[in-house]
Amino acid sequence: MFYGTELSSRLMLGTAQYPSPSVLRAAIAASGAQVITVSLRREGQAGGEFREIMAQSGCRILPNTAGCHSAREAVTTAQMARELFGTDWIKLEVIGHADSLQPDPFALVEAARILSAEGFKVFPYTTEDLIVGERLIEAGCRVLMPWGAPIGSGQGLRHRAALAAMRAHFPDIPLVIDAGIGAPSQAMAAMEMGFDAVLLNTAVARALDPVAMARAFGQAVSAGQLAHIAGLMPPRDMAQASTPIFGMAELV
């Protein structure tokens, strides 16, 4: 449940870097995603065919403030995105480090507070830092989107213990792993840990077969969610026979 909206798919898909509009269209359909992200810059560079794909996808549009490096820039971009896409949902990115693309926590909280006061439903791209998460919730966010690893790195869940701690610390807040996911197995692992969704782009868009990879991620996210609900077997220090000894034949 994200700001009162319930989704059947827990995969959110980015729309950048695909080899062609037709591949993007097919990948969205194959993924089963119900939320797709798009940046204002991408929309400005794309033509009518891109807008047509967005409209025909049947997905909810989640505009983002990708490329913004200050709270003021992010707020302005979000305001423009709301006018263009007709939605108060916004994925808030405020980049603070050029190499890692790590978010600036101070500018992020500032922008989140301003946008929440203006009625935006803010999806903040953040780290696994618990204090930053607390401040974002105080600013009005009802969703947190911690990174798995730096954007486009494909490293997966780089700090699993910290992410597990975040999940435990915010049991009632929807948490979406955003960025760094490079393989379906990594997305499945995030869902097995109890995260509510996974957002990714590069791993699908840059695959040899983006459509097949989109389908693989959709299935992996569903499988991981089902496994979490079913209850994963806890690890043991010692072996435990699955077949009982009682009733076995005795050889004499």
Instruction: For residue 184, report the phi and psi dihedrals to the nearest 5 degrees.
Output: -55, -35
Residue 144: per-residue pLDDT: 98
Among the residue ranges 6-10, 40-44, 133-137, 186-190, the one predicted with the least confidence is: 40-44
- Per-residue pLDDT, averaged over 40-46, amounts to 59
Given a cut of 70, is residue 42 above it in pLDDT?
A: no
Q: Does the annotation list 182 as a binding residue? A: no
Q: What whole-number distance in Å separates Cα of residue 65 and Cα of residue 74? A: 6
Going by pLDDT thresholds of 50, 70 and 90, the confidence category of residue 46 is: low
- 39 contacts 227 by C-beta, under 8 angstroms: no
DSSP string for 170-221: -TTS-BEEES---SHHHHHHHHHTT-SEEEE-HHHHTSSSHHHHHHHHHHHH
User: Which residues in the chain belong to E strands, given as ranges?
Assistant: 11-14, 35-39, 60-64, 89-92, 121-126, 145-146, 176-178, 197-200
The 3-state DSSP class for residue 63 equals strand
201 is in an annotated binding site: yes
Pick the CATH number of 11-230 from 3.20.20.70, 3.40.30.20, 3.40.50.2300, 3.40.50.800: 3.20.20.70
DSSP letter for 123, please. Answer: E
CA-to-CA distance for 237 and 129, rounded, in angstroms?
31
Domain boundaries, given as residue ranges, for the chain: 11-230
- Compute how many other C-beta atoms are within 10 angstroms of the C-beta atom of residue 229: 10
Q: Which of 25, 91, 121, 215 is catalytic?
A: 91
Q: Which residue has the tokens 């949902």?
A: 89
- Known catalytic membership, residue 91: yes
Q: Summarize pLDDT for 191-231 with one digit per residue, the tens.
A: 999 999 999 999 999 999 999 999 999 999 999 999 999 99
How many Cα atoms sit within 13 Å of 60 on the Cβ side? 18
Does 179 appear as a known binding residue? yes
User: How many helices and strands (H and E) does the chain possess?
Assistant: 10, 8
Q: Give me the residue label for tokens 């989704």.
A: 7
pLDDT confidence tier of residue 251, bands split at 50, 70 and 90: low
Which of 59, 64, 63, 67 has the alpha carbon at shortest distance from 27? 59
180 is in an annotated binding site: yes
Q: What is the pLDDT of residues 89-126, one digit of tens each?
A: 999 999 998 888 899 999 999 999 999 999 999 999 99
Q: Is 163 exposed, middle or buried (0-12, 13-18, 19+ CB in 10 A)?
A: buried
